[in-house]
Structure 1
Amino acid sequence: MNILIIGATGLVGSAVAAALAGAGHDVTVLRRPGGRALPYRSVPGDLTDPASLKRAAAGFDRVVHAGAPLGEELDLAGVDALVDAGSPLVYTTGAAVLGGSGDEDSEPEPHPFVSWRAEAERRVLAAGGRVVRPGMVYGEGGGGVPGLLAAKAAERGTGVYIGEPGVRWPVVHVADLADLYVAVVERAEPGTVWHGMAETARLDDIARALGGGTAAPWPLEEATAELGPLAGLFALDQDVSSDKTRRLLGWTPRHTAVVDHLKAEPPAPAR
């Protein structure tokens, strides 16, 4: 297939582009003005310019949006532009859109930090697109959340977690997630939701892995003063199933020991 990747310079998008090219697909990437060149054909466009997205996305067999979220107004305008372009869309949201526990068929109840993502999903699915909801992404020395926690561990000399101990999050290694996108692109029916969760891990265990074996709570009020509404998401216990995705798409994650991985290969601290 002829596939456009949006967000190909990021951790997820770069892995997805490489996996799709490795599977024999013809990959094109969206390149914003002044953006970094990649070893693929490119088309001009910018996530902050919905009209450019519509022009860029026309005529592809699939468009995979793995770009960073920019907020409600731009994200929804971008979805509308990509839908209007007419190419089948594979759109990335995340586990937090469920607001806690659930599976691929659960109705979204998004955490306030990502409140608009339920509407983005609705628009994509109504147009016959596919939605991918990853857990916390790690691996290849990257990942926004692991990088943030690594930075706090370096700053404080111990791992940190927000809220109560025992809060769980679904997680996925970026290589396994890229394999899922290939499966969704190649085999998923229109108007479907797919979950990229390889395992469920405790955030305090992740904090200890990044803190050299120790971790301390970061009070929610203090964390909120620094991180804003994102801090509340760290206190949200999430137990999300990917059983349907594994069963119907044959997705079998190979990386299922995030704590051991982060001990051996800690991410670069986010700046």
Structure 2
Amino acid sequence: MSDTPAPNGAESVLVIGSAGYLGRYVARSFAEAGYRVTGLQRPGGRPVDPRYQAVPGDLADPASLRAAAEGFDLVVHAGRIEGEVEREGVEAILASGTRLIHTSGADVLGPGDTFEDTVPKPPSCVAWRAPVEQVVRAGGGILIRPGLIYGDNGGVVPDQLLPVAAKLGAGLYFERRGVRWPAVHVADLAELYPLVARKAAPGTAWNGVTETIAVDELAAVTGAGTSVCWQSIDNPPAEIADIVELYVMDHDVSSEKTRREMGWRPRYLDAIGYLREECAAALPLLGR
């Protein structure tokens, strides 16, 4: 539970993606911190939780996002949208004059040891993130960059990695052992958002990462102890084709500044152990 009270106890926040994986945790964190939460209701999308108000809007229709954002104290973009449409949506929200916290990704920083102030050098599969970040920061918005989000049977692991492991009979990594990925539990990540809303200056970026894990160790977890090395990222399984470039991008993302300046205190610090139990329960349902 967040210990960050909303200023004046009742600021209003519009959460984009409030019915989604990360967004429902973010909405709950703001509600527990005393904010009045509203969710964006997409046409044909999952209904906004009845505990919150709802306003209509479409991620593919920037004009609707601007109209939806007007009148709120804060907009938090915790939904999933990529490429040029995301940039246009961000521009529309900023044009409403409402403060924006936008969810990017730690992968935008590129390989190696990176920090909150590292100049992004993204791989081609997420190259669109860098110009979106520029728009957010130039417009006075704030960025949160999560690592691999896990927990509550959601995220990339059950959506993409487990189906591959079930099909191959083993977890998969590429080219070599020891490739590092940043990771964060969804509940810990969600608690960062109200802290940033209260403390962060406009135009800043914060890394939502709690630890670094090895891709080959994660592969063994998804494969119930069995993993296989794919020698090249050429012709990967279709389930992970869109992120295969990340399998060989070794990156260690620091969140030391974020923890210190935002007062963020994550509780889930053993991603491999957590995912081992979660995957063990999920694999039989996939035929393993």
User: What TM-score, normalized to structure 1?
Assistant: 0.95
Q: Secondary structure at the match of 1:106?
A: coil
Q: Secondary structure at the match of 1:63?
A: strand
Matches within 5 A, 1:1-271: 1-37=11-47, 38-39=49-50, 40-70=52-82, 72-100=83-111, 101-218=113-230, 219-223=232-236, 227-266=240-279
Q: Secondary structure at the match of 2:173?
A: strand
Return the offset for 1:226.
6.0
| 1:5-58 alpha-carbon deviations (Å, 9 max, x no partner) | 001121111100011111111000000112222221000001011110010011
Distance 1:226 1:12, change over 3 A: closer
Return the offset for 1:147.
2.9
Cα distance between partner residues in 2 of 1:55 and 1:34: 19
Return the offset for 1:225.
6.3
CA contact (8 A) 2:162 2:222 kept: yes
Return the offset for 1:154.
1.1
Cα distance between partner residues in 2 of 1:268 and 1:42: 33
Q: Secondary structure at the match of 1:220?
A: coil
Aligned-pair Cα RMSD in Å: 1.8
Report percent identity of matched pairs.
48
Return the offset for 1:198.
0.3
CA contact (8 A) 1:224 1:230 kept: no
Q: Which stretches in structure 2 are left out of the alignment for 5+ residues?
A: 1-10
CA contact (8 A) 2:66 2:96 kept: yes
Q: Secondary structure at the match of 2:228?
A: strand
CA contact (8 A) 1:180 1:251 kept: yes
| 1:83-125 alpha-carbon deviations (Å, 9 max, x no partner) | 1111000001101111113100111111111112111111111
Aligned AA for 1:223? P
CA contact (8 A) 2:23 2:78 kept: yes
| Higher alpha-carbon deviation: 13-22 or 210-219 | 210-219
Q: Secondary structure at the match of 1:91?
A: strand
Cα distance between partner residues in 2 of 1:16 and 1:112: 28
Q: Secondary structure at the match of 2:269?
A: coil
CA contact (8 A) 1:142 1:268 kept: no
In the comparison of the two structures, how many residue pairs are matched? 270
Aligned AA for 2:74? R
Cα distance between partner residues in 2 of 1:262 and 1:162: 20
Cα distance between partner residues in 2 of 1:174 and 1:256: 12
Q: Which stretches in structure 1 are left out of the alignment for 5+ residues?
A: none
Q: Which residue of 1 aligns with 2:3?
A: none
User: What TM-score, normalized to structure 2?
Assistant: 0.89
Return the offset for 1:69.
2.3
Aligned AA for 2:85? L
Distance 1:74 1:123, change over 3 A: same
Q: Which residue of 1 aligns with 2:8?
A: none
Aligned AA for 1:144? V
Return the offset for 1:205.
0.5
CA contact (8 A) 2:164 2:239 kept: no
Q: Secondary structure at the match of 2:235?
A: helix
